[in-house]
Amino acid sequence: MEVEVKKISVAEFQEMEFDENDSHLYELINGELVKRKAPTPQHQRLSIKLSVSIHTHVEQHKLGQVYYAPIDVFLDDHNSPQPDLVFVAADQLSIITKNGIEGVPALVVEIISPTSIIRDRVTKKELYERSGVQEYWLVDPQNQEIEIYTLQDGQYVLLSAASSLEGELKSAVLPGLSIDTKTLFS
């Protein structure tokens, strides 16, 4: 006999109350509540460096808005992830509301932690692909690599990859962006 698991809706998720002493972050992925630990110092350092690089480029070229975690991204009725970084293009700024980002952003960045490898590489990648996020960046601190996937015909294809040793990052969503991966991972 198969037991049916009830999915939580975004509306139910928004009404949930968490203990104020709880230092975990919560996401809603495919109707399931996902509990995450606070990020490590290495994770936060990478997040800051990427935020500054991306934000500076976006501001200089008036491309839109950049946000960093924690921020809710409401993709549909059963998904509210909190990507590490989110870029909302200038032509879609209306999806930014007082509650978070209510719609599909142009780009999301996830920084992999030891406990999030499968969630980031498989579950969230499939979620962002299915939702229509144009570009998905996976940052791997352990291997000092970044992979950039772009949406083509509804599927992610690897657009660019770089490591701390070599490679050049290319973004279809943020053309002209230059990130020194050697400095990023130092």
Q: Where are the domains of the chain?
A: 39-184
Q: What is the pLDDT of residues 42-63, one digit of tens each?
A: 999 999 999 999 999 999 999 9
61, two tokens:
């070229």
Q: What is the pLDDT of residues 79-103, one digit of tens each?
A: 999 999 999 999 999 999 999 999 9
Contact 149, 138 (CB under 8 A): yes
In 3D space, the residue among 87, 82, 85 whose CA is nearest the CA of residue 71 turns out to be 82
Q: Which residue has the higher pLDDT, 158 or 39?
A: 158
In 3D space, the residue among 100, 80, 104 whose CA is nearest the CA of residue 92 turns out to be 104
Predicted confidence band of residue 167 (pLDDT cuts 50, 70, 90) = confident
In 3D space, the residue among 162, 161, 160, 164 whose CA is nearest the CA of residue 183 turns out to be 164
Q: Is 80 exceeded by the pLDDT of residue 168?
A: no
What is the overall mean pLDDT for the chain?
Answer: 91
Contact 68, 13 (CB under 8 A): no
Contact 39, 66 (CB under 8 A): no
Distances (CA, A) of 99 to 31, 74, 168: 19, 9, 36
Average pLDDT over residues 156-180: 89
Q: What is the pLDDT of residue 172?
A: 94
CATH architecture entry for 39-184: Alpha-Beta Complex (3.90)
DSSP 3-state helix, strand, coil percentages of the chain (rounded to 5)?
30, 30, 40
Q: Give the torsion sign (CA, 35, 38, 88, 65).
A: positive
Q: What is the pLDDT of residue 138?
A: 97
Q: Give residue for tokens 């928004």.
A: 14
Q: What is the pLDDT of residue 104?
A: 98
Share of the chain above pLDDT 90, in %: 66
Q: Is 70 exceeded by the pLDDT of residue 4?
A: no
Distances (CA, A) of 48 to 55, 93, 147: 10, 23, 18
Q: What is the pLDDT of residue 6?
A: 77
Predicted confidence band of residue 184 (pLDDT cuts 50, 70, 90) = confident
Share of the chain above pLDDT 70, in %: 97
Structure pTM? 0.91
The sheet carrying 73-74 orders its strands as: 73-74, 100-102, 96-97
Q: How far is CA 134 from the centre of its chain?
A: 12
